[in-house]
Amino acid sequence: MIYSDEQDVTTAGTRVALASSRTIANWVTIQAKFANTGSIYVGNDEVDSSEGIELLAADSTTLPGMGVPAYDLRYIYIDSSVSGEGVKVLYGRN
């Protein structure tokens, strides 16, 4: 199955998890929203402007699958340089 979701950072500089409850995925693609004007940072619970992967508007990154559920979206975080900006998330699981 393939699922999609969105997540926004209400206040820039405040990291937000991609999911609030257990959400297991075999692979995850995270895309910065097209309308973003700043940067999105993707990483663990320490992500900020100096840690993690930086995405500009419409950039994306994929965390590839390994054949078994490998990711829990509660432990993948984003932060933003501009309040109210965010990402679209596409993920799959068996």
Number of helical (H) and strand (E) elements in the chain, helices listed first: 0, 10
**CATH architecture, domain defined by 2-92:** Sandwich (2.60)
pTM: 0.93
Is residue 32 within 8 A of residue 56, CB to CB? The reply is yes
Q: Is the pLDDT of residue 13 over 70?
A: yes
pLDDT confidence of residue 94: 77
Residue range 61-84, pLDDT digits in tens: 999 877 666 899 999 999 999 999
Euclidean distance between CA atoms 80 and 91, whole angstroms: 21
Q: How far is CA 30 from CA 19, 73, 87, 89, in A?
A: 13, 11, 6, 5
Q: Would you kindly state where each structural domain of the chain is located, as residue ranges?
A: 2-92
